[in-house]
Amino acid sequence: MAASFWDDADRHLVRYGGAFTREIIDRAEGSFVFTEDGRRVLDFTSGQMSAILGHSHPEIVETVRRQAAKLDHLFSGMLSRPVVDLARRLAGTLPDPLEKALLLTTGAESNEAAVRMAKLVTGKHEIVSFARSWHGMTQAAASATYSAGRKGYGPAAPGNFAIPVPNTYRPDFTDASGGLDWRRQLDFGFELIDAQSVGSLAAFLAEPILSSGGVIEPPPGYFAALAEKCRERGMLLILDEAQTGLCRTGTWYAFERDGVVPDILTLSKTLGAGLPLAAVLTSAAIEQEAHDRGFLFFTTHVSDPLPAAVGNTVLDVLERDRLDARALSLGALLRRGLEELASRHEVVGDIRGRGLLAGLELVVDRETKRSSDELGARVTRRCLELGLHMNIVQLPGMGGVFRIAPPLTASDEEIGLGLEILDQAIGDVVKTL
């Protein structure tokens, strides 16, 4: 039966990014997925970095069952209580003036809407983002994505630019001590933007922690300086918290650390805890200006009641179980374990991230930071063989960065199990190098 499954998959499925994991997943529960042949695999990626409450959380299951039987989908111009409740509650988790919400389905869609709104409100069209960014696969989101997928599709939207990523592990601009001089790097980046701009800078779109770019966290102070660069040019600041929002980093939103408030915030992934739900949040002033100018984002599943009901349940669980604090404590446990791995394995070059979004970069030489694509790929395969699903980012200049994002509901024992398997996998692979 497995052979015919893979024959059908190979014959009929469009391949949309890398190879499929050659396991038939039958079900999932909590921190584990279970294969059809009975293997239990610890999920250290929360599905697609989304299932912050684990798989098949009983309260999510009950909400889906109840809401689907009552009210699942509506004409996009109609409203239901779950939608208005979720908009109000999301506003209550955010600082002023973020109080207006647009409920959508995916991260790409929310970024598309945010960029569209920014262009309309400012009357300008140029969008800046980070090199190594990932914002989605629709037109405006893909045009602002630089980590992958740019070759072979024709021209991106006109007026899209990138600035260097402030990577403290691999600094390009250095100070006297050899560390990253991020202020000089940021100044240089905007000098390039100003040289290329036709005077129509609309917005900067950024992830507070670049996840698909290798779990790169700009240093403290960076986003305040970036916000000032935006203000100087009349640009809006859009923050994409698809993976960092809703408690994963130990605070409700990652931008809280930096004392900045974006003009527009996009949420997805974690908001639906694995189901398709996204949001755009902004101020009443920006929403009013957009409305006055005829803002249009009429989609099939905008303001759908079923995913909105799920979003309300996600907020219930996050608040009741204080999962922001849980992410901090589990993140500290994870960090200590990764540091112990680094003490035993010379191929661990760097550990970074915040809360339960951690990055572990592998190198073949700590002194030179020389990378190897094969090393990361082999450790990933060995982890899966041992019962741990890991996601590795392999971009030019990086041998491999593991994105580690277990559910916020994981137990201490499950974190320990994942670290144990990763330890063994690295050791097994290093012996064969």
Confidence band, pLDDT 50/70/90 cuts, at residue 428:
very high
Of these residues, 100, 112, 134, 378, which one is catalytic?
134
Let me know if 243 is a catalytic residue: yes
pLDDT at 364 over 90: yes
Please report the pLDDT score of residue 18 as a whole number: 83
Please report the pLDDT score of residue 373 as a whole number: 83
Please compute the mean of the pLDDT values over residues 81-102 and round it to a whole number: 98
Of these residues, 100, 124, 229, 269, which one is catalytic?
269
How many other β-carbons are positioned within 10 Å of the β-carbon of residue 304?
23
Please compute the mean of the pLDDT values over residues 104-115 and round it to a whole number: 98
Structure tokens at 35: 């294969």
Q: How far is CA 348 from CA 62, 133, 360, in A?
A: 42, 24, 7
Q: Which of 129, 214, 211 is nearest to 170 (CA)?
A: 214
Confidence band, pLDDT 50/70/90 cuts, at residue 358:
very high
Please compute the mean of the pLDDT values over residues 309-321 and round it to a whole number: 98
Of these residues, 67, 185, 243, 394, which one is catalytic?
243
CA atoms of 291 and 117, how far apart (whole Å): 9
If you average pLDDT over every residue of the chain, what do you get?
Answer: 96
pLDDT at 355 over 70: yes
Secondary structure letter of residue 429 according to DSSP: H
Give, for 58, the enclosing helix (H) or strand (E).
Answer: helix 58-70
Residues of the chain within CATH 3.40.640.10 domain(s) are 71-320
Give the HSE-up count for residue 206: Cα atoms under 13 Å, Cβ half-sphere.
29
Please compute the mean of the pLDDT values over residues 242-266 and round it to a whole number: 98
Of these residues, 109, 126, 217, 240, which one is catalytic?
240
Let me know if 394 is a catalytic residue: no
Q: Residue 23: which residues within 8 A CB-CB, separation 6 or more?
A: 35, 39, 41, 384
Q: pLDDT, tens digit, for every residue of 126-181?
A: 999 999 999 999 999 999 999 999 999 999 999 999 999 999 999 999 999 999 99
pLDDT at 398 over 90: no
Strand order in the sheet with 201-206: 98-104, 278-283, 264-267, 236-240, 201-206, 126-130, 160-163
In this structure, which topology does domain 2-57+323-432 adopt according to CATH?
A: Aspartate Aminotransferase, domain 1 (3.90.1150)
Cβ atoms of 392 and 377 within 8 Å: the answer is yes
Q: pLDDT, tens digit, for every residue of 174-230?
A: 999 999 999 999 999 999 999 999 999 999 999 999 999 999 999 999 999 999 999
Of these residues, 43, 354, 403, 414, which one is catalytic?
403
Q: What are phi and psi of 201, to 5 degrees?
A: -75, 120
pLDDT at 394 over 80: no
Confidence band, pLDDT 50/70/90 cuts, at residue 400:
confident
Let me know if 431 is a catalytic residue: no
CA atoms of 85 and 98, how far apart (whole Å): 16
pLDDT at 306 over 80: yes
Of these residues, 207, 241, 287, 304, which one is catalytic?
207
Between 366 and 433, residue with greater pLDDT: 366
pLDDT at 104 over 70: yes
Q: pLDDT, tens digit, for every residue of 15-65?
A: 998 889 999 999 999 999 999 999 999 999 999 999 999 999 999 999 999
Confidence band, pLDDT 50/70/90 cuts, at residue 68:
very high
Q: At what angle do helices 412-432 and 323-344 cross, to 10 degrees?
A: 30
Residues of the chain within CATH 3.90.1150.10 domain(s) are 2-57+323-432
Confidence band, pLDDT 50/70/90 cuts, at residue 395:
confident
Let me know if 240 is a catalytic residue: yes
Confidence band, pLDDT 50/70/90 cuts, at residue 396:
low
Q: Is the dihedral of CA 170, 345, 376, 136 positive or negative?
A: negative
Let me know if 67 is a catalytic residue: no
Please compute the mean of the pLDDT values over residues 327-345 and round it to a whole number: 98
Let me know if 124 is a catalytic residue: no
Confidence band, pLDDT 50/70/90 cuts, at residue 393:
confident
Q: Which of 49, 147, 44 is nearest to 380 (CA)?
A: 44
Query: Selecting from 3.40.640.10, 1.10.3720.10, 3.90.1150.10, 3.40.50.970, what CATH number does the domain 71-320 have?
Result: 3.40.640.10
Q: Residue 24: which residues within 8 A CB-CB, separation 6 or more?
A: 2, 5, 35, 36, 37
Cβ atoms of 341 and 415 within 8 Å: the answer is no
Please report the pLDDT score of residue 287 as a whole number: 98
Please compute the mean of the pLDDT values over residues 332-337 and round it to a whole number: 98
CA atoms of 91 and 85, how far apart (whole Å): 10
Place of tokens 């030489």: 365
pTM: 0.97
Between 327 and 19, residue with greater pLDDT: 327
